[in-house]
Amino acid sequence: MQENIKKIYRSNKKLFERHCYLFAIKAANSPEALVEALTEGIHHFEVKKFTGWVEVRAVLNNQMTVTKNEEKRRWH
């Protein structure tokens, strides 16, 4: 099954803000995740769509490491 991942960066202000709002609502039950996102900053969101499901993950600034044009990150 091929994954469809869309990245949403700060340059898309309206969509980025919408995902920040959704992240804050979802993180209400996990204050640690919200505090980490606030202190480190969100680099971008990744929206993964697959058969009937949509998964949104926030990638923090401190989790971005670029090596040989590959991005390595820890997912939240």
So what's the pLDDT on residue 3? 64
Phi, psi of 24 (to 5 degrees): -60, -40
Other beta carbons less than 10 A from residue 42's beta carbon: 20
- With 60 as the cut, is the pLDDT of residue 67 above it? no
Over the range 48-73, which residues count as b (16 or more CB within 10 Å of their CB) and which as e? eeeeeeeebebbbeebeeeeeeeeee
Report the C-alpha gap between 34 and 54 in whole angstroms: 21
pLDDT band at 34 (very low <50, low <70, confident <90, very high): confident
| pLDDT reported for residue 30 | 86
Q: Tell me, what's the pLDDT at 16? A: 94
